[in-house]
Chains A and B, each alone.
Chain A
């Protein structure tokens, strides 16, 4: 009898499928979890459910067409993805775009980042069981999508950039509406802290969960707010400034804890920086043309061009190998979500399933960005 009482319970590893249809994977991502009780021993991501082979399609498309494919990848950073391809093509053509274009691209890029972070914030709260955040996040995001709609006619996949500049000039209301939004959002952003950041339950579910050290962050090439939360200084806007980022003052948000809460706090602080960048530029949009003249058929010279930009998720790279034709010989998209996901197994080991939901929310996955 004593034997039965003192003998430890035998446990056995078992597997469960999380996804492909799971609300917290935010798309079609399947995770095979290897579990010991409720403790996660291994997470194996299975991706590719919406793989469209965009890179292969690019090998047959003209450079103007490629721009349109990029916002189908990370649809929450669509403008910044477009910008990456345009900057890459402009680098190949050695084309200097007008100052007006640079400033407008930067403002819209930051608005895109804000709207992406707002959506992330709302959805993250909902993943952890707070419905209110979802409504708050979408309420504020609505104002940005309205500005986008008025500027270029689309709310999500904007296609506002073209190689050489912008598709058309900004709407006369653009400056006023953006300033209205900034005044509105500066009052609302502290509410985000009141609602979620200082919530005890939320803090307990995120602090100390899913830790990633700085060395591992660099080794896994985790970038963006997820990387900077571990102290990895990787902001492309600082290290390799493009568009008008060399003209504005902003801080690179760095934290050292590397846990879910640090990643959360990084994004919240980044929103304040984005607001500050927009405020510095919105009254100083230079006059001039909104597009540098380009040929109807763009042929890049023979060579290789690598352009990196900072999307809402991290470092997005476009690697163009040109053979002098109207289509690239090879085009590679280095997407931030792909690398960030590869670190998920490392972060989640030893956590519980509920923690995995928190970890996935804080690395902010967008599935088309991973699958391409």
Chain B
């Protein structure tokens, strides 16, 4: 599927999506509540069949949080970037996708660990890289640690 029809495909299902053509991939920003519905559709629909989640990461913006999903279809060889916009920075929550993509289990634990985004219905949401008693979420822009970080 080319980028134009992919754009229509997403807009039909999520009318409020903001879609821009990035330097490489089509980037669709959608509200975080819709993420499960749209990823289920993108994965199961034979027209898109995005079965390969090759990168999942969080981004901390000044006003909101974002979870970025890089998807590829191994059969149709097209790619898309889905960004889930989470409006709350204090209490970020989003649905898990680790039953759709098993690799998300580890990635979501890492995002929870570093950004504090809570993935609802994740089977085992614990800190992954840091110790269990770590306070705070280090990849957030407002994180301060007077011992381990040098102020720039």
- Which residues of A line the B interface, CB within 8 A? 47-48, 51, 53, 55-56, 60, 91-92, 216, 218-221, 223, 232-234, 239, 303-306, 308, 315, 317, 319, 321, 329-330, 332, 334, 338-339, 341-343, 346, 371
Instruction: Choose one: B55, B103, B128, B139; the contact of A219 (CB below 8 Å).
Output: B103
Interface centre among A218, A220, A232, A319 (most CB of B within 10 A): A218
- Asked if B24 and A48 make an inter-chain contact with CB atoms under 8 angstroms apart, the answer reads no
Which A residues lie within 8 Å of B24 (CB)? Answer: 305-306
- Asked if B103 and A220 make an inter-chain contact with CB atoms under 8 angstroms apart, the answer reads yes
- Asked if A51 and B102 make an inter-chain contact with CB atoms under 8 angstroms apart, the answer reads no
- Asked if B128 and A304 make an inter-chain contact with CB atoms under 8 angstroms apart, the answer reads no
Instruction: Choose one: B23, B77, B102, B129; the contact of A342 (CB below 8 Å).
Output: B102
CB distance from B112 to the nearest CB of A (A): 13
B27: Cβ under 8 A from any A Cβ? yes
Bound form: Cα–Cα A334–B27 in Å: 18
Interface size range of chain B in the complex: 20 to 34
- Asked if B130 and A48 make an inter-chain contact with CB atoms under 8 angstroms apart, the answer reads yes
- Asked if B55 and A306 make an inter-chain contact with CB atoms under 8 angstroms apart, the answer reads yes
- Asked if A332 and B55 make an inter-chain contact with CB atoms under 8 angstroms apart, the answer reads yes
- Asked if A342 and B105 make an inter-chain contact with CB atoms under 8 angstroms apart, the answer reads yes
- Which residues of B line the A interface, CB within 8 A? 22-25, 27, 51-55, 57, 59-60, 68, 70, 74, 77, 81, 101-103, 105-107, 110, 128-131, 138-139, 152
Which B residues lie within 8 Å of A319 (CB)? Answer: 55, 57, 68, 70
Bound form: Cα–Cα A117–B102 in Å: 27
CB distance from B101 to the nearest CB of A (A): 6
With contacts A305-B24, A334-B54 taken as known, whether A51 is within 8 angstroms of B103 at the C-beta atoms is no
- Asked if B106 and A338 make an inter-chain contact with CB atoms under 8 angstroms apart, the answer reads yes
Bound form: Cα–Cα A315–B51 in Å: 16
* Additional A-B contacts beyond A220-B102, A221-B52 (16; CB < 8 A): A47-B129, A92-B23, A218-B74, A239-B77, A303-B23, A306-B24, A306-B25, A306-B81, A308-B54, A317-B55, A330-B57, A330-B60, A334-B54, A334-B55, A338-B107, A341-B106
Bound form: Cα–Cα A92–B22 in Å: 12
Which B residues lie within 8 Å of A219 (CB)? Answer: 51, 101-103
CB distance from A282 to the nearest CB of B (A): 32
- Asked if A91 and B23 make an inter-chain contact with CB atoms under 8 angstroms apart, the answer reads yes
Query: Count the A-B residue pairs with Cβ separation under 8 angstroms: how many?
Result: 82
- Asked if B74 and A330 make an inter-chain contact with CB atoms under 8 angstroms apart, the answer reads no
Instruction: Choose one: A51, A305, A343; the contact of B129 (CB below 8 Å).
Output: A51
Secondary structure of the A contact surface, majority rule: mixed
CB distance from A46 to the nearest CB of B (A): 9
Which A residues lie within 8 Å of B52 (CB)? Answer: 218, 221
- Asked if A221 and B23 make an inter-chain contact with CB atoms under 8 angstroms apart, the answer reads no
- Asked if A317 and B129 make an inter-chain contact with CB atoms under 8 angstroms apart, the answer reads no
With contacts A305-B23, A330-B59 taken as known, whether A53 is within 8 angstroms of B54 at the C-beta atoms is no
Q: What are 7 A-B interface contacts by the 8 Å CB criterion? A: A48-B131, A221-B54, A304-B23, A319-B55, A338-B110, A342-B106, A346-B102
- Asked if A317 and B103 make an inter-chain contact with CB atoms under 8 angstroms apart, the answer reads no
Bound form: Cα–Cα A297–B23 in Å: 22
With contacts A219-B103, A332-B57 taken as known, whether A304 is within 8 angstroms of B27 at the C-beta atoms is yes
Which B residues lie within 8 Å of A339 (CB)? Answer: 103, 106
CB distance from B134 to the nearest CB of A (A): 10
Which B residues lie within 8 Å of A306 (CB)? Answer: 24-25, 55, 70, 81
CB distance from A224 to the nearest CB of B (A): 12
- Asked if A371 and B129 make an inter-chain contact with CB atoms under 8 angstroms apart, the answer reads yes
CB distance from A142 to the nearest CB of B (A): 34
CB distance from B138 to the nearest CB of A (A): 6
Bound form: Cα–Cα A91–B22 in Å: 13
- Asked if B128 and A48 make an inter-chain contact with CB atoms under 8 angstroms apart, the answer reads yes
CB distance from B70 to the nearest CB of A (A): 7
Which A residues lie within 8 Å of B55 (CB)? Answer: 306, 317, 319, 332, 334
Bound form: Cα–Cα A332–B106 in Å: 15
CB distance from B56 to the nearest CB of A (A): 9
Interface centre among A91, A221, A232, A315 (most CB of B within 10 A): A221
- Asked if A303 and B105 make an inter-chain contact with CB atoms under 8 angstroms apart, the answer reads no
- Asked if A60 and B152 make an inter-chain contact with CB atoms under 8 angstroms apart, the answer reads yes
Which A residues lie within 8 Å of B74 (CB)? Answer: 218, 232-234
CB distance from A326 to the nearest CB of B (A): 12
Bound form: Cα–Cα A330–B103 in Å: 21
Which A residues lie within 8 Å of B105 (CB)? Answer: 342
Which A residues lie within 8 Å of B130 (CB)? Answer: 48, 51
Which B residues lie within 8 Å of A48 (CB)? Answer: 128-131
Bound form: Cα–Cα A53–B52 in Å: 26
